[in-house]
Structure 1
Amino acid sequence: MQYHDDMSMNTELPGASGDPDLQALVLVAEDESEIAQILMAYLSRAGLRVAHAPDGRRALEMHDMLKPDLVLLDVQMPQLDGWSVLSQIRQRGNTAVIMLTAMDQDLDKLMGLRIGADDYVVKPFNPAEVVARTQAVLRRTAGANAPAHKLLRVEGIEIDLDHYEAAVCIDNTPRQVLALTLTEFRLLAHMARAPKRVFSRAELLAACLPEGETLERTVDSHLSKLRKKVEAAGISGLLEAVRGVGYRLGSGA
């Protein structure tokens, strides 16, 4: 099976973004590692964050864990096929899904669209075309999937998702903006979307840390610095380590 790989030409892919913290997250659910690596390279170069699931069951686990903006979903995968994965994703919500398959039959296309796929790409494909379709679907679904508000409030902290700003807002004290790095902000915002839920280090690493930081202990370092900044601003006990599991936003004191 041949795939057109012209990345050596160093051409600019459409929609590239220089700010990794504004990237959408794309989950590539593909059991053929070579295809997955090519797609992930193109998507990353186009300014998107990526994660990889090698089988259908893992795809569902990562979809639940990472809450991706879009899933590139292969039909023929071990554990669970793409149709089953798509059906369960649709039961959970409206995550954008593009099906990847070697089957070029109208019936297969209709099945995918009927279950709820947003687009359909037949193998072999040009990875640059897949990126373009991914960006088009993300643009089309961004408004429908955007949260109703861009502020999160957790235990005395107000998180402005539009302006990448977090501030401590305690009664009878002036509002105090936290001097967070982008990674610290992303960790705080990600956990604030589900207060009291325990997040594993692997999940936080995949969802929040820049490409290239692959060691789980780097999560400990970033969260340690974040905890110190929050405590210095007057909120203690908000960020809790759960031994052997990970971290959560608990009840600040």
Structure 2
Amino acid sequence: MAKAHAIFAVLLFLPALAFAGDGSVRTVASIYDNAPRLKDIRARIVADEPVTITELQILADVGDGLAAYKLAERLLAMNRPDLNGKAAHYLAIAVNDGRTYAVPPLFAILSDRTSDISPVRLAHIENALNRQAATGDPASVLALARLYLQGHPFGARPEKAKALLRAAVDQQFVDEALALQMAMLIASGAPLSAEDEAAVRAYLRVAQESPDIGTRTAAENLLRAFAEPEALSGEDEHG
């Protein structure tokens, strides 16, 4: 019960935290070497020169993550919900290309239950997120775990969500704010195994080092609720 109260208290006062989404970008493939049109389109994108939607799609459809992200931005700027599925498809191409700054807008579309996304596209999107999560990218791990826990659009998979979060514990590039979110996600998926609780503590220790007093205080409060079993037994003996 104490754990539930601690989690609820943190949820009340914790500010909204953004995804990191700053993962490394893969080197551009050599498909452009013998494709002058593709090379020209990409050069104009990089130079921030005018590029049509058709040109972006040509490049995105051969797997260029930058073009895919730019195309998704254009589609989303149209404010047409019927294009959400297409935008999500191209954001997934960007994610698959290592551009994890595409994760937050992709997560937003997937969390919107009005988004109409075909099963084929959903499979492609899930694979892209899983691929990046397997590399330890914290934004992809967090997004996929949240989607599995909320049960939409990939179905409820709480155990897989917790497994993803446990596997990312040792990643050195998980920052304090993300660590707190990850700890809270695991903690919210009761019942918790001993491995789950160990992962919660590991993330909270990272979050405890945050320069932000809100993050640090929340982590310290939760750590008291998830104290090591040995520490709890010691308190009982001296209580």
TM-score > 0.5 by shorter chain: no
**Which structure has more helix as a fraction of its residues?**
2
Higher relative contact order (CA 8 A, sep 6+): 2
**Which structure has more strand as a fraction of its residues?**
1
TM-score, scaled to structure 2: 0.30
